[in-house]
Structure 1
Amino acid sequence: MRARAARREGAAVLREGGVASPERDADLLLAHVLDVPLGRLPLVDDLDRQQQEQYVALLARRAAREPLQHLTGTAAFRHVELAVGPGVFVPRPETELLAGWAIDAARAVEHAGRTCRVVDLCTGSGAIAKAVADEVPDADVHAVELDEGALAWAERNLAGTGVDLRHGDLATSFDDLLGTVDVVVCNPPYIPLEAWESVAAEARDHDPHLALFSGQDGLDAMRVLERRAALLLRPGGVVGAEHADVQGESAPGVFTAAGRWLDVTDHLDLAGRPRYLTARLAR
Protein backbone atom coordinates (compact mmCIF):
# COMPACT_ATOMS: atom_id res chain seq x y z
CA MET A 1 0.00 0.00 0.00
CA ARG A 2 1.29 3.46 -0.86
CA ALA A 3 2.17 5.52 2.21
CA ARG A 4 0.48 8.64 0.86
CA ALA A 5 -2.78 6.78 0.34
CA ALA A 6 -2.50 5.22 3.79
CA ARG A 7 -2.15 8.67 5.39
CA ARG A 8 -5.16 10.00 3.48
CA GLU A 9 -7.36 7.00 4.27
CA GLY A 10 -6.22 6.98 7.88
CA ALA A 11 -7.21 10.61 8.36
CA ALA A 12 -10.64 9.85 6.88
CA VAL A 13 -11.18 7.01 9.34
CA LEU A 14 -10.27 9.24 12.29
CA ARG A 15 -12.35 12.14 11.03
CA GLU A 16 -15.39 9.87 10.86
CA GLY A 17 -14.67 8.76 14.42
CA GLY A 18 -14.79 12.34 15.68
CA VAL A 19 -11.08 12.68 16.46
CA ALA A 20 -10.19 16.35 16.85
CA SER A 21 -6.94 16.24 14.83
CA PRO A 22 -7.39 13.40 12.31
CA GLU A 23 -4.58 14.28 9.89
CA ARG A 24 -1.93 14.71 12.54
CA ASP A 25 -3.00 11.66 14.52
CA ALA A 26 -3.00 9.53 11.38
CA ASP A 27 0.52 10.71 10.59
CA LEU A 28 1.74 10.11 14.13
CA LEU A 29 0.34 6.58 14.14
CA LEU A 30 1.91 5.81 10.78
CA ALA A 31 5.28 7.18 11.93
CA HIS A 32 4.96 4.96 15.00
CA VAL A 33 4.25 1.89 12.88
CA LEU A 34 7.15 2.63 10.53
CA ASP A 35 9.45 3.67 13.42
CA VAL A 36 10.49 6.86 11.65
CA PRO A 37 10.46 10.51 12.74
CA LEU A 38 7.34 12.41 11.71
CA GLY A 39 9.36 14.58 9.35
CA ARG A 40 10.47 11.54 7.32
CA LEU A 41 6.97 10.34 6.47
CA PRO A 42 6.94 12.10 3.06
CA LEU A 43 10.03 10.08 2.13
CA VAL A 44 8.34 6.72 2.75
CA ASP A 45 6.94 5.07 -0.39
CA ASP A 46 5.17 1.86 0.61
CA LEU A 47 3.91 -0.13 3.59
CA ASP A 48 4.38 -3.88 3.70
CA ARG A 49 1.43 -6.09 4.65
CA GLN A 50 2.38 -6.34 8.32
CA GLN A 51 2.77 -2.59 8.63
CA GLN A 52 -0.53 -2.02 6.89
CA GLU A 53 -2.36 -4.41 9.23
CA GLN A 54 -0.81 -2.80 12.30
CA TYR A 55 -1.73 0.67 11.05
CA VAL A 56 -5.34 -0.29 10.35
CA ALA A 57 -5.66 -1.83 13.83
CA LEU A 58 -4.29 1.31 15.51
CA LEU A 59 -6.58 3.54 13.45
CA ALA A 60 -9.60 1.55 14.60
CA ARG A 61 -8.59 1.94 18.24
CA ARG A 62 -7.98 5.67 17.82
CA ALA A 63 -11.30 6.11 16.01
CA ALA A 64 -12.90 4.47 19.06
CA ARG A 65 -11.31 7.38 21.00
CA GLU A 66 -8.54 5.48 22.71
CA PRO A 67 -5.90 8.13 23.53
CA LEU A 68 -3.21 8.52 20.92
CA GLN A 69 -0.51 8.34 23.58
CA HIS A 70 -1.82 4.98 24.80
CA LEU A 71 -1.32 3.64 21.28
CA THR A 72 2.22 4.97 20.88
CA GLY A 73 3.14 4.43 24.54
CA THR A 74 4.76 7.83 24.96
CA ALA A 75 3.92 11.49 25.54
CA ALA A 76 6.21 14.47 25.02
CA PHE A 77 6.27 17.05 27.81
CA ARG A 78 8.53 20.07 27.48
CA HIS A 79 12.01 18.55 26.97
CA VAL A 80 11.29 15.08 28.37
CA GLU A 81 9.49 11.99 27.14
CA LEU A 82 7.09 10.08 29.34
CA ALA A 83 5.89 6.50 29.21
CA VAL A 84 2.10 6.46 29.45
CA GLY A 85 -0.72 4.00 29.03
CA PRO A 86 -3.87 2.67 30.69
CA GLY A 87 -4.09 3.72 34.32
CA VAL A 88 -2.46 7.13 34.15
CA PHE A 89 -3.61 10.61 33.16
CA VAL A 90 -2.02 11.63 29.87
CA PRO A 91 -0.27 15.01 30.38
CA ARG A 92 -1.72 17.83 28.28
CA PRO A 93 0.24 20.56 26.49
CA GLU A 94 -1.48 23.20 28.63
CA THR A 95 0.21 21.79 31.72
CA GLU A 96 3.61 22.60 30.24
CA LEU A 97 2.88 26.24 31.11
CA LEU A 98 2.40 25.39 34.79
CA ALA A 99 5.59 23.32 34.71
CA GLY A 100 7.40 26.26 33.12
CA TRP A 101 6.24 28.52 35.95
CA ALA A 102 7.54 26.03 38.54
CA ILE A 103 10.87 25.81 36.72
CA ASP A 104 11.22 29.60 36.65
CA ALA A 105 10.31 29.83 40.34
CA ALA A 106 12.90 27.17 41.21
CA ARG A 107 15.57 28.96 39.20
CA ALA A 108 14.79 32.20 41.00
CA VAL A 109 15.45 30.51 44.36
CA GLU A 110 18.71 29.05 43.11
CA HIS A 111 19.82 32.40 41.71
CA ALA A 112 19.39 33.72 45.26
CA GLY A 113 21.99 31.21 46.40
CA ARG A 114 19.89 28.37 47.83
CA THR A 115 19.02 24.87 46.66
CA CYS A 116 15.34 24.96 45.78
CA ARG A 117 12.98 22.41 47.31
CA VAL A 118 10.04 21.61 45.02
CA VAL A 119 7.01 19.43 45.82
CA ASP A 120 4.76 18.14 43.02
CA LEU A 121 1.42 17.03 44.46
CA CYS A 122 -0.84 14.70 42.40
CA THR A 123 2.13 13.92 40.16
CA GLY A 124 0.30 11.36 37.96
CA SER A 125 2.80 10.24 35.32
CA GLY A 126 5.50 12.32 36.99
CA ALA A 127 5.45 14.87 34.17
CA ILE A 128 5.96 18.08 36.14
CA ALA A 129 8.45 16.57 38.57
CA LYS A 130 10.50 15.11 35.72
CA ALA A 131 10.48 18.41 33.81
CA VAL A 132 11.66 20.34 36.88
CA ALA A 133 14.41 17.80 37.60
CA ASP A 134 15.48 17.94 33.95
CA GLU A 135 15.63 21.74 33.67
CA VAL A 136 16.74 22.59 37.23
CA PRO A 137 19.06 19.65 37.93
CA ASP A 138 20.25 20.96 41.31
CA ALA A 139 16.72 21.29 42.68
CA ASP A 140 15.54 19.00 45.49
CA VAL A 141 12.38 17.57 43.90
CA HIS A 142 9.69 15.53 45.65
CA ALA A 143 6.48 14.06 44.22
CA VAL A 144 3.47 12.13 45.48
CA GLU A 145 0.66 10.13 43.85
CA LEU A 146 -2.30 8.40 45.47
CA ASP A 147 -3.52 6.15 42.65
CA GLU A 148 -1.50 2.94 42.54
CA GLY A 149 -1.87 2.50 38.80
CA ALA A 150 -0.57 6.00 38.09
CA LEU A 151 2.17 5.55 40.69
CA ALA A 152 3.58 2.64 38.70
CA TRP A 153 3.92 4.89 35.64
CA ALA A 154 5.49 7.65 37.75
CA GLU A 155 8.02 5.18 39.14
CA ARG A 156 8.98 4.24 35.60
CA ASN A 157 9.25 7.85 34.43
CA LEU A 158 11.12 9.18 37.45
CA ALA A 159 13.61 6.33 37.77
CA GLY A 160 17.13 7.73 37.75
CA THR A 161 16.04 11.37 38.00
CA GLY A 162 16.75 11.78 41.71
CA VAL A 163 13.13 12.73 42.42
CA ASP A 164 11.81 11.53 45.77
CA LEU A 165 8.57 9.79 44.75
CA ARG A 166 6.08 8.67 47.39
CA HIS A 167 2.73 6.91 47.52
CA GLY A 168 0.21 9.02 49.39
CA ASP A 169 -2.52 11.64 49.57
CA LEU A 170 -1.86 15.30 48.83
CA ALA A 171 -3.70 16.17 52.05
CA THR A 172 -1.24 14.38 54.33
CA SER A 173 2.02 13.86 52.44
CA PHE A 174 5.47 15.17 53.33
CA ASP A 175 5.02 15.82 57.04
CA ASP A 176 8.82 15.70 57.20
CA LEU A 177 9.05 18.73 54.88
CA LEU A 178 6.57 21.05 56.62
CA GLY A 179 7.66 24.68 56.47
CA THR A 180 10.73 23.97 54.30
CA VAL A 181 9.41 23.93 50.72
CA ASP A 182 10.06 26.75 48.25
CA VAL A 183 7.72 25.73 45.42
CA VAL A 184 4.54 23.63 45.54
CA VAL A 185 3.08 22.73 42.15
CA CYS A 186 -0.04 20.69 41.46
CA ASN A 187 -2.28 19.61 38.61
CA PRO A 188 -5.21 18.45 40.74
CA PRO A 189 -8.50 16.92 39.63
CA TYR A 190 -10.84 19.82 38.89
CA ILE A 191 -13.81 18.64 36.83
CA PRO A 192 -17.24 18.95 38.54
CA LEU A 193 -19.08 15.66 38.85
CA GLU A 194 -22.05 17.19 37.03
CA ALA A 195 -19.85 17.82 33.97
CA TRP A 196 -19.41 14.09 33.27
CA GLU A 197 -21.11 14.17 29.88
CA SER A 198 -19.06 17.13 28.61
CA VAL A 199 -15.68 15.45 29.15
CA ALA A 200 -13.91 14.25 26.00
CA ALA A 201 -14.22 10.50 25.51
CA GLU A 202 -10.45 10.06 25.54
CA ALA A 203 -10.31 11.38 29.12
CA ARG A 204 -13.67 10.20 30.45
CA ASP A 205 -13.27 6.61 29.29
CA HIS A 206 -9.52 6.12 29.71
CA ASP A 207 -8.01 8.49 32.30
CA PRO A 208 -8.32 7.54 35.99
CA HIS A 209 -11.39 9.24 37.45
CA LEU A 210 -9.36 10.09 40.54
CA ALA A 211 -7.34 12.43 38.30
CA LEU A 212 -10.41 14.07 36.76
CA PHE A 213 -13.32 14.70 39.10
CA SER A 214 -13.35 16.77 42.29
CA GLY A 215 -16.75 17.25 43.91
CA GLN A 216 -19.84 19.12 42.80
CA ASP A 217 -18.02 22.35 41.88
CA GLY A 218 -14.68 20.81 40.87
CA LEU A 219 -12.80 22.62 43.65
CA ASP A 220 -12.63 20.03 46.44
CA ALA A 221 -8.99 19.16 45.66
CA MET A 222 -8.12 22.85 45.26
CA ARG A 223 -9.33 23.52 48.80
CA VAL A 224 -7.21 20.66 50.12
CA LEU A 225 -4.23 21.94 48.14
CA GLU A 226 -4.60 25.43 49.61
CA ARG A 227 -4.44 24.07 53.16
CA ARG A 228 -1.58 21.67 52.49
CA ALA A 229 0.54 24.16 50.56
CA ALA A 230 0.22 26.63 53.44
CA LEU A 231 1.78 24.02 55.73
CA LEU A 232 4.47 22.81 53.35
CA LEU A 233 5.79 26.17 52.17
CA ARG A 234 8.29 28.31 53.99
CA PRO A 235 7.12 31.92 54.47
CA GLY A 236 7.36 33.62 51.08
CA GLY A 237 7.18 30.29 49.23
CA VAL A 238 4.97 29.95 46.16
CA VAL A 239 2.27 27.60 44.92
CA GLY A 240 0.95 27.01 41.40
CA ALA A 241 -2.08 24.94 40.42
CA GLU A 242 -3.89 24.16 37.18
CA HIS A 243 -7.67 24.56 36.94
CA ALA A 244 -10.51 24.36 34.41
CA ASP A 245 -10.93 27.29 32.04
CA VAL A 246 -14.26 28.14 33.71
CA GLN A 247 -12.58 28.41 37.11
CA GLY A 248 -10.54 31.53 36.38
CA GLU A 249 -12.24 33.34 39.25
CA SER A 250 -13.40 30.55 41.56
CA ALA A 251 -10.05 28.70 41.81
CA PRO A 252 -7.99 31.80 42.76
CA GLY A 253 -10.90 32.68 45.05
CA VAL A 254 -10.09 29.62 47.16
CA PHE A 255 -6.69 31.13 47.95
CA THR A 256 -7.88 34.71 48.31
CA ALA A 257 -10.58 33.70 50.79
CA ALA A 258 -8.06 31.90 53.01
CA GLY A 259 -6.46 35.23 53.91
CA ARG A 260 -2.87 33.95 54.05
CA TRP A 261 -1.76 34.39 50.47
CA LEU A 262 -0.25 37.33 48.62
CA ASP A 263 -0.02 37.99 44.87
CA VAL A 264 -2.85 35.59 44.02
CA THR A 265 -2.79 35.67 40.22
CA ASP A 266 -4.49 33.76 37.44
CA HIS A 267 -2.70 32.96 34.18
CA LEU A 268 -3.95 32.27 30.65
CA ASP A 269 -2.96 29.41 28.37
CA LEU A 270 -1.81 29.87 24.78
CA ALA A 271 -5.43 29.95 23.61
CA GLY A 272 -6.19 32.85 25.96
CA ARG A 273 -8.20 30.77 28.43
CA PRO A 274 -7.74 30.86 32.23
CA ARG A 275 -5.52 27.89 33.03
CA TYR A 276 -3.54 28.09 36.28
CA LEU A 277 -3.18 30.19 39.41
CA THR A 278 -0.16 31.17 41.47
CA ALA A 279 0.15 32.62 44.96
CA ARG A 280 2.79 33.47 47.56
CA LEU A 281 2.51 32.52 51.23
CA ALA A 282 2.53 35.60 53.46
CA ARG A 283 5.56 35.99 55.69
Structure 2
Amino acid sequence: MSYSHAGHIDALNHNVADLAGKINVSFEFFPPSSEKMEETLWSSIHRLKTLQPKFVSVTYGANSGERDRTHSIIKEIKDQTGLIAAPHLTCIDASRDELKTIAKDYWNNGIRDIVALRGDLPQSGGKPDMYASDLVELLKGVADFDISVAAYPEVHPEAKNAQADLINLKRKVDAGANRAITQFFFDVESYLRFRDRCVTAGIDVEIIPGILPVSNYKQAKRFADMTNVRIPSWMAKQYEGLDDDPVTRQMVGASQAIDMVRTLSREGVKDFHFYTLNRSEMTYALCHTLGVRP
Protein backbone atom coordinates (compact mmCIF):
# COMPACT_ATOMS: atom_id res chain seq x y z
CA MET A 1 0.00 0.00 0.00
CA SER A 2 1.44 3.39 -0.92
CA TYR A 3 1.96 6.01 1.78
CA SER A 4 -0.51 8.42 0.27
CA HIS A 5 -3.14 5.69 0.32
CA ALA A 6 -2.37 4.82 3.95
CA GLY A 7 -2.60 8.50 4.83
CA HIS A 8 -6.00 8.70 3.16
CA ILE A 9 -7.27 5.75 5.21
CA ASP A 10 -5.85 7.36 8.36
CA ALA A 11 -7.69 10.57 7.59
CA LEU A 12 -10.90 8.64 7.00
CA ASN A 13 -10.55 6.80 10.29
CA HIS A 14 -9.84 9.99 12.14
CA ASN A 15 -12.84 11.60 10.57
CA VAL A 16 -15.12 8.80 11.65
CA ALA A 17 -13.46 8.38 15.02
CA ASP A 18 -13.69 11.82 16.51
CA LEU A 19 -17.17 13.26 16.70
CA ALA A 20 -16.10 16.12 19.00
CA GLY A 21 -18.28 19.13 18.33
CA LYS A 22 -20.47 17.12 15.95
CA ILE A 23 -22.75 15.47 18.49
CA ASN A 24 -24.63 16.45 21.65
CA VAL A 25 -25.40 14.06 24.46
CA SER A 26 -28.02 13.84 27.20
CA PHE A 27 -28.38 11.32 30.02
CA GLU A 28 -31.25 9.61 31.83
CA PHE A 29 -31.19 8.64 35.52
CA PHE A 30 -33.78 7.13 37.87
CA PRO A 31 -34.53 7.87 41.56
CA PRO A 32 -32.42 5.61 43.81
CA SER A 33 -34.17 3.29 46.26
CA SER A 34 -31.38 2.94 48.83
CA GLU A 35 -28.57 5.01 50.31
CA LYS A 36 -25.95 3.03 48.43
CA MET A 37 -27.78 3.60 45.15
CA GLU A 38 -28.06 7.28 46.00
CA GLU A 39 -24.25 7.47 46.31
CA THR A 40 -23.86 5.73 42.95
CA LEU A 41 -26.33 8.14 41.35
CA TRP A 42 -24.57 11.27 42.58
CA SER A 43 -21.10 10.06 41.67
CA SER A 44 -22.47 9.28 38.17
CA ILE A 45 -24.12 12.69 37.84
CA HIS A 46 -20.94 14.51 38.89
CA ARG A 47 -18.79 12.43 36.55
CA LEU A 48 -21.09 12.78 33.52
CA LYS A 49 -21.69 16.48 34.21
CA THR A 50 -18.14 17.15 32.99
CA LEU A 51 -19.23 16.08 29.49
CA GLN A 52 -21.58 19.09 29.33
CA PRO A 53 -24.77 17.26 28.38
CA LYS A 54 -27.55 19.27 26.75
CA PHE A 55 -29.81 18.07 29.58
CA VAL A 56 -30.31 15.21 32.00
CA SER A 57 -33.64 13.57 32.76
CA VAL A 58 -34.95 11.69 35.79
CA THR A 59 -37.64 9.02 35.48
CA TYR A 60 -40.22 8.03 38.02
CA GLY A 61 -42.49 5.15 38.88
CA ALA A 62 -46.24 5.36 39.07
CA ASN A 63 -46.91 6.58 42.60
CA SER A 64 -46.77 10.04 44.09
CA GLY A 65 -44.01 9.15 46.59
CA GLU A 66 -41.77 8.41 43.63
CA ARG A 67 -42.85 11.64 42.01
CA ASP A 68 -41.73 13.63 45.06
CA ARG A 69 -38.33 11.91 44.95
CA THR A 70 -37.97 12.73 41.26
CA HIS A 71 -38.91 16.31 42.07
CA SER A 72 -36.30 16.68 44.82
CA ILE A 73 -33.55 15.02 42.75
CA ILE A 74 -34.33 17.32 39.80
CA LYS A 75 -34.05 20.39 42.06
CA GLU A 76 -30.81 19.11 43.60
CA ILE A 77 -29.27 18.42 40.19
CA LYS A 78 -30.18 21.91 39.05
CA ASP A 79 -28.88 23.55 42.24
CA GLN A 80 -25.71 21.48 42.62
CA THR A 81 -24.60 21.21 38.99
CA GLY A 82 -26.36 23.96 37.03
CA LEU A 83 -27.33 21.33 34.42
CA ILE A 84 -30.67 21.53 32.65
CA ALA A 85 -32.67 18.86 34.47
CA ALA A 86 -35.89 17.47 33.01
CA PRO A 87 -38.26 15.44 35.20
CA HIS A 88 -40.38 12.72 33.67
CA LEU A 89 -44.06 13.40 34.27
CA THR A 90 -46.88 10.95 33.61
CA CYS A 91 -50.58 11.70 33.54
CA ILE A 92 -52.04 8.27 34.24
CA ASP A 93 -52.14 8.65 38.02
CA ALA A 94 -52.98 12.32 38.56
CA SER A 95 -55.93 14.62 37.95
CA ARG A 96 -55.63 17.64 35.65
CA ASP A 97 -55.59 19.97 38.65
CA GLU A 98 -52.79 17.99 40.32
CA LEU A 99 -50.80 18.06 37.09
CA LYS A 100 -51.24 21.82 36.78
CA THR A 101 -50.06 22.27 40.38
CA ILE A 102 -46.98 20.11 39.75
CA ALA A 103 -46.22 22.00 36.52
CA LYS A 104 -46.52 25.41 38.21
CA ASP A 105 -44.28 24.25 41.02
CA TYR A 106 -41.64 23.10 38.54
CA TRP A 107 -41.86 26.36 36.61
CA ASN A 108 -41.60 28.45 39.81
CA ASN A 109 -38.49 26.47 40.76
CA GLY A 110 -36.83 27.30 37.47
CA ILE A 111 -37.47 23.90 35.87
CA ARG A 112 -38.32 24.61 32.23
CA ASP A 113 -37.92 21.15 30.68
CA ILE A 114 -40.23 18.16 31.07
CA VAL A 115 -40.39 14.68 29.55
CA ALA A 116 -44.15 14.15 29.12
CA LEU A 117 -45.41 10.55 29.10
CA ARG A 118 -48.70 8.77 29.48
CA GLY A 119 -47.33 6.32 32.04
CA ASP A 120 -48.01 2.65 32.65
CA LEU A 121 -51.64 1.58 32.84
CA PRO A 122 -52.76 0.36 36.27
CA GLN A 123 -53.04 -3.43 36.77
CA SER A 124 -56.83 -3.13 36.90
CA GLY A 125 -56.80 -2.04 33.27
CA GLY A 126 -59.43 0.33 31.90
CA LYS A 127 -58.95 3.23 29.50
CA PRO A 128 -56.88 6.20 30.63
CA ASP A 129 -58.58 9.61 31.00
CA MET A 130 -55.56 11.34 29.50
CA TYR A 131 -52.89 10.54 26.96
CA ALA A 132 -49.43 12.04 26.50
CA SER A 133 -50.78 14.47 23.89
CA ASP A 134 -53.29 15.78 26.48
CA LEU A 135 -50.46 16.20 28.97
CA VAL A 136 -48.36 18.16 26.46
CA GLU A 137 -51.32 20.44 25.80
CA LEU A 138 -51.95 20.92 29.54
CA LEU A 139 -48.28 21.74 30.23
CA LYS A 140 -48.10 24.25 27.37
CA GLY A 141 -51.26 25.81 28.82
CA VAL A 142 -49.48 26.36 32.14
CA ALA A 143 -46.23 27.78 30.72
CA ASP A 144 -43.95 27.52 27.73
CA PHE A 145 -42.12 24.38 28.85
CA ASP A 146 -39.59 22.68 26.60
CA ILE A 147 -41.21 19.27 26.21
CA SER A 148 -39.78 15.92 25.13
CA VAL A 149 -42.05 12.97 24.37
CA ALA A 150 -41.43 9.28 23.71
CA ALA A 151 -41.23 7.63 20.28
CA TYR A 152 -41.13 3.93 19.42
CA PRO A 153 -39.13 2.93 16.33
CA GLU A 154 -40.37 -0.65 16.71
CA VAL A 155 -43.95 0.34 17.64
CA HIS A 156 -45.38 0.78 21.13
CA PRO A 157 -46.46 -2.62 22.54
CA GLU A 158 -50.04 -1.35 23.00
CA ALA A 159 -50.42 0.33 19.60
CA LYS A 160 -52.81 -1.25 17.09
CA ASN A 161 -50.16 -0.97 14.39
CA ALA A 162 -47.23 1.15 13.22
CA GLN A 163 -49.45 3.69 11.50
CA ALA A 164 -51.61 4.25 14.60
CA ASP A 165 -48.44 4.68 16.64
CA LEU A 166 -47.11 7.28 14.20
CA ILE A 167 -50.41 9.20 14.27
CA ASN A 168 -50.16 9.25 18.06
CA LEU A 169 -46.65 10.71 17.90
CA LYS A 170 -47.86 13.37 15.46
CA ARG A 171 -50.63 14.25 17.90
CA LYS A 172 -48.04 14.83 20.65
CA VAL A 173 -45.91 17.01 18.36
CA ASP A 174 -48.95 18.97 17.15
CA ALA A 175 -49.87 19.56 20.81
CA GLY A 176 -46.54 21.33 21.25
CA ALA A 177 -43.79 18.75 21.94
CA ASN A 178 -40.34 20.11 21.06
CA ARG A 179 -38.62 16.78 20.37
CA ALA A 180 -39.11 13.03 20.64
CA ILE A 181 -36.71 10.63 22.35
CA THR A 182 -36.90 7.03 21.22
CA GLN A 183 -37.24 3.89 23.20
CA PHE A 184 -33.88 2.09 23.12
CA PHE A 185 -33.26 -0.09 20.05
CA PHE A 186 -30.40 -2.25 18.80
CA ASP A 187 -31.24 -2.42 15.12
CA VAL A 188 -30.03 0.85 13.58
CA GLU A 189 -32.08 0.27 10.43
CA SER A 190 -35.30 0.27 12.44
CA TYR A 191 -34.48 3.78 13.72
CA LEU A 192 -33.58 5.09 10.26
CA ARG A 193 -36.75 3.68 8.69
CA PHE A 194 -38.77 5.17 11.52
CA ARG A 195 -37.16 8.59 11.07
CA ASP A 196 -38.05 8.51 7.35
CA ARG A 197 -41.65 7.62 8.19
CA CYS A 198 -41.81 10.51 10.66
CA VAL A 199 -40.72 12.93 7.94
CA THR A 200 -43.33 11.51 5.56
CA ALA A 201 -45.99 11.91 8.25
CA GLY A 202 -45.10 15.60 8.66
CA ILE A 203 -43.47 15.18 12.08
CA ASP A 204 -40.88 17.94 11.96
CA VAL A 205 -39.16 17.75 15.35
CA GLU A 206 -35.90 16.02 16.07
CA ILE A 207 -36.18 12.29 16.78
CA ILE A 208 -33.37 11.66 19.28
CA PRO A 209 -32.19 8.06 19.44
CA GLY A 210 -32.22 6.57 22.94
CA ILE A 211 -29.07 4.49 23.40
CA LEU A 212 -28.84 1.73 26.01
CA PRO A 213 -25.23 0.59 26.46
CA VAL A 214 -25.55 -3.07 27.46
CA SER A 215 -23.34 -4.49 30.18
CA ASN A 216 -25.90 -6.97 31.47
CA TYR A 217 -27.31 -8.86 28.49
CA LYS A 218 -29.92 -10.84 30.45
CA GLN A 219 -31.36 -7.66 31.91
CA ALA A 220 -31.32 -5.95 28.49
CA LYS A 221 -33.13 -8.94 26.97
CA ARG A 222 -35.76 -8.71 29.70
CA PHE A 223 -36.25 -4.97 28.95
CA ALA A 224 -36.38 -5.71 25.23
CA ASP A 225 -38.99 -8.47 25.58
CA MET A 226 -41.21 -6.18 27.64
CA THR A 227 -41.03 -3.33 25.18
CA ASN A 228 -41.21 -5.01 21.79
CA VAL A 229 -37.55 -4.34 20.96
CA ARG A 230 -35.79 -6.73 18.60
CA ILE A 231 -32.36 -8.02 19.52
CA PRO A 232 -30.47 -8.81 16.30
CA SER A 233 -28.98 -12.31 16.24
CA TRP A 234 -25.43 -10.98 15.69
CA MET A 235 -25.78 -9.04 18.93
CA ALA A 236 -27.06 -11.96 20.99
CA LYS A 237 -24.19 -14.05 19.64
CA GLN A 238 -21.58 -11.59 20.92
CA TYR A 239 -22.71 -12.16 24.52
CA GLU A 240 -22.63 -15.95 24.33
CA GLY A 241 -20.46 -17.54 27.01
CA LEU A 242 -20.06 -14.29 28.95
CA ASP A 243 -22.56 -14.93 31.76
CA ASP A 244 -19.76 -14.92 34.36
CA ASP A 245 -17.53 -12.37 32.67
CA PRO A 246 -18.81 -8.86 33.40
CA VAL A 247 -15.65 -7.11 32.20
CA THR A 248 -15.78 -8.60 28.70
CA ARG A 249 -19.55 -7.97 28.59
CA GLN A 250 -18.90 -4.27 29.26
CA MET A 251 -16.33 -4.11 26.48
CA VAL A 252 -18.65 -5.85 24.03
CA GLY A 253 -21.53 -3.54 25.00
CA ALA A 254 -19.39 -0.43 24.72
CA SER A 255 -18.09 -1.34 21.28
CA GLN A 256 -21.64 -2.08 20.04
CA ALA A 257 -22.92 1.27 21.30
CA ILE A 258 -19.95 3.14 19.81
CA ASP A 259 -20.64 1.52 16.41
CA MET A 260 -24.30 2.54 16.66
CA VAL A 261 -23.52 6.16 17.45
CA ARG A 262 -20.96 6.38 14.64
CA THR A 263 -23.35 4.87 12.10
CA LEU A 264 -26.18 7.19 13.18
CA SER A 265 -23.86 10.19 13.16
CA ARG A 266 -22.97 9.43 9.54
CA GLU A 267 -26.71 9.44 8.84
CA GLY A 268 -26.96 12.99 10.15
CA VAL A 269 -28.02 12.34 13.76
CA LYS A 270 -26.63 15.07 16.03
CA ASP A 271 -28.18 14.33 19.43
CA PHE A 272 -28.01 11.13 21.48
CA HIS A 273 -29.81 10.29 24.73
CA PHE A 274 -28.10 7.66 26.89
CA TYR A 275 -29.99 5.42 29.31
CA THR A 276 -27.32 5.24 32.01
CA LEU A 277 -29.15 3.02 34.54
CA ASN A 278 -27.45 5.39 37.04
CA ARG A 279 -23.94 4.13 36.21
CA SER A 280 -21.38 6.40 34.64
CA GLU A 281 -18.57 4.06 33.57
CA MET A 282 -19.81 2.80 30.23
CA THR A 283 -21.48 6.00 29.12
CA TYR A 284 -18.39 8.02 30.05
CA ALA A 285 -16.12 5.60 28.16
CA LEU A 286 -18.38 5.73 25.08
CA CYS A 287 -18.50 9.51 25.06
CA HIS A 288 -14.73 9.74 25.60
CA THR A 289 -14.06 7.38 22.70
CA LEU A 290 -16.40 9.37 20.45
CA GLY A 291 -14.60 12.61 21.29
CA VAL A 292 -17.15 14.02 23.76
CA ARG A 293 -14.81 15.06 26.58
CA PRO A 294 -14.57 17.53 29.46
Higher relative contact order (CA 8 A, sep 6+): 2
TM-score by length of 1: 0.33
Structure with a larger share of its residues in strand = 1
